[in-house]
Amino acid sequence: MAENESNVVVDQGQTKLSDLWTKEDYWAIWLGFAILIAGMWLFLANPSPEFAQKVDKANGVMAAEAARAPFKTLAYYKAQDDKGKLQGMDTPSGKAIGAFLTTPGAWASDPLEAFVLSKEAADERNAAAKAKFESAKVKSDAALAAAQAAEAAAAGAAFADAALNTEAQAKIAEWRAEHAKMKAAEKKTKTKPFNIATSLPMLMVALGLFFAVGMKFMGHDVPKFLVGFIGVFFVAVLALMMGHQSTMKYWGIGAEAWAIIIGMLVANTVGTPSFIKPALQVEYYIKTGLVLLGAEVLFDKIIAIGIPGIFVAWVVTPIVLICTFIFGQKILKMPSKTLNIVISSDMSVCGTSAAIATAAACRAKKEELTLAIGLSLVFTAIMMIAMPAFIKAVGMPQVLGGAWMGGTIDATGAVAAAGAFLGEKALYVAATIKMIQNVLIGVVAFGVAVYWCARVECREGHSVGWIEIWHRFPKFVLGFLAASVLFSVISGSLGSDMSQIMVNQGVLKGLSSPLRNWFFCLAFTSIGLATNFRELAHYFKGGKPLILYVAGQSFNLVLTLAMAYVMFYIVFPEITAKI
């Protein structure tokens, strides 16, 4: 990832006050926190009192329904859906920021539709989607009527007839499935015209200047950086466009992967133009994005699905991570420890995002990060199709299947998609387990950074003092952790409902996450544009990375399934019954 001769950043054994404005680790913290503070001011400073009122109303309905019936009734689900619609970013300023940060949109055959959609084209899409929506609405209404009748029958028996209760639950589940299809079809009838051809150049200038501030203080040539940034931004936009192409959903290939693919294609054919090179600041973009990611590492998420979820996501994952790393060192004798830990964390925690955090924490080379992400993409594409198909074929319960996939499939989006393949219950369990596992990134990044400073980057047999560890410690990790702790405290103080609305659906999704995605895309574009195929092939020599991934993932699959079964069906069956 680093751009010096050896491709590894090695801090000199001293810390100076001027590091605060001359080192990119600190600039990543300052820039990241500037965004987070702006987000807090925009989305947390003046919360709408309407949110609390609507949350109380929805919770009141759910509490009453929970006391009335032994299963989730129609009114219960409707109240839950109403609560889920509340978003802190749903304000005029939130919408304006969202529009400014918009990435190229979805398209099927005409790439221009990712940037511009005329009113006529939007109307045409809406008209074409109308018939499907009406058909879906008829089915949803019929399913609702059947569910209402079944629930009324169960209520008529004072919810004391088990058969009627089961029948009502089944009919309500059918309505939920049809309702989801109807809402998706309805969304397609509400396509609005857009044109991001004007906002993208403005965003390019804004992001270029944003990063240029740090570049100036770090002693780089700012005009050259800004000129190069135009090229990096252009390739990043292409990558985002490709990532949103409609068939990419089948392969799990997002913008970050396309950024590497397009970048490498350019670098290894026509060659990366020299004017772009001053803007290939991989670590600067990644570290700033990671500080923003820290705000999304919210520790109150880990109790979302109870103790079984913690065991599946927070006990199995570190065991698999450590065992895979040891296997790589002792058995496979991996030549590179950094490649070993990046693949191990990528495979055991949550794919690309974990790989980025770990690679930055242990200062892995950019080729190692690229290789780890490539392996993850290939196996995710296989597992996200094969696992739900296998689970369905053997008749595994949705909760167990969801937990298994949530704990093993690398990429977060692919986990949700694989869960949805089986049904809503599997989707919910899989997505929640993955979310809890996502939070582990903070602990892993910190642990790897400390371990690397204290053990790996020192001569064998020598111990390293705390001061030396501090000198070597990648300081951006402190910003990452500070953001995590700050937002975890804010989230915890707001309570789960208001935190969801104000933090997740406000500061994070309204400002921080879109920018984090842009920064990572710029970073991966830079990686692609600076990577040579031959160098990459060198790291794959002997196929050891592949063996490491397969061995680690096999262990992960067995251990996660065993833990999920024991926790959800033997130790805590009462929790499983509630899900």
* Segment 418 to 447, residues that bind other proteins, using CB under 8 A: 418, 420-421, 427-432, 434-435, 438
DSSP-based three-state secondary structure for 363:
coil
Give whichever of 176 and 472 is closer to other proteins, judged by the CB atom.
176
Give whichever of 215 and 383 is closer to other proteins, judged by the CB atom.
383
Q: For residue 63, state whether it binds other proteins (rule: CB under 8 A).
A: yes
Strand-pairing partners, residue 194, are 117
Strand-pairing partners, residue 116, are 195
CB of 353 to other proteins, least distance (A): 5
Q: Which of residues 305-364 bind other proteins (CB under 8 A)?
A: 305-306, 350-353
DSSP-based three-state secondary structure for 159:
coil
Q: Which residues 6+ apart lie within 8 Å of 398 measured at CB?
A: 422, 423, 425, 426, 429
Segment interacting with other proteins, rule: CB under 8 A, options 73-81, 122-130, 145-153, 278-286 = 73-81
Q: Could you tell me the two tokens for 324?
A: 């895979």
CB of 546 to other proteins, least distance (A): 20
Q: Which of residues 486-525 bind other proteins (CB under 8 A)?
A: 496, 500, 504-505, 508-509, 513, 516-517, 520
Segment interacting with other proteins, rule: CB under 8 A, options 199-207, 248-256, 274-282, 560-568 = 248-256
- Rounded Cα gap, residues 145 and 77, in angstroms: 15
Q: For residue 296, state whether it binds other proteins (rule: CB under 8 A).
A: yes
CB of 466 to other proteins, least distance (A): 32
Segment interacting with other proteins, rule: CB under 8 A, options 8-16, 20-28, 221-229, 302-310 = 302-310
Q: Which of residues 250-269 bind other proteins (CB under 8 A)?
A: 250-257, 261, 265-266, 268-269
Segment interacting with other proteins, rule: CB under 8 A, options 19-27, 157-165, 203-211, 484-492 = 157-165
* CB atoms inside a 10 Å sphere around CB 317: 25
Give whichever of 434 and 475 is closer to other proteins, judged by the CB atom.
434
Q: Which of 139, 171, 287, 301 binds other proteins (CB under 8 A)?
A: 301
Q: Which of residues 137-156 bind other proteins (CB under 8 A)?
A: none
Q: Which of 15, 22, 80, 329 binds other proteins (CB under 8 A)?
A: 80
**Phi, psi (deg, nearest 5) at residue 195:** -150, 105
Interface pattern 12-51 for other proteins (x via CB under 8 A): ----------------------------------------
Give whichever of 19 and 82 is closer to other proteins, judged by the CB atom.
82
C-beta pairs of 199-206 under 8 Å, 24+ apart in sequence: 199/99, 199/100, 199/102, 200/115, 200/237, 202/100, 203/100, 203/101, 203/518, 204/229, 204/230, 204/233
- Rounded Cα gap, residues 368 and 167, in angstroms: 54
**Phi, psi (deg, nearest 5) at residue 402:** -65, -45
Q: Could you tell me the two tokens for 197?
A: 């051809």
DSSP sequence for 452-493: IIIIITS-TT----HHHHHHHS-THHHHHHHHHHHHHHHHHH
Nearest residue to 55 (alpha-carbon basis) of 484, 575, 505, 509: 505
Give whichever of 3 and 161 is closer to other proteins, judged by the CB atom.
161
Interface pattern 384-423 for other proteins (x via CB under 8 A): xx--xx---------------------xxxx-xxx-xx--
Residue 439, CA distances (Å) to 295, 298, 511 in order: 10, 6, 19
Q: For residue 84, state whether it binds other proteins (rule: CB under 8 A).
A: yes
Q: For residue 83, state whether it binds other proteins (rule: CB under 8 A).
A: yes
Q: What angle in degrees, to the nearest 10, is found between the helix axes of 199-217 and 92-100?
A: 80
Q: Which of residues 184-203 bind other proteins (CB under 8 A)?
A: 184, 187
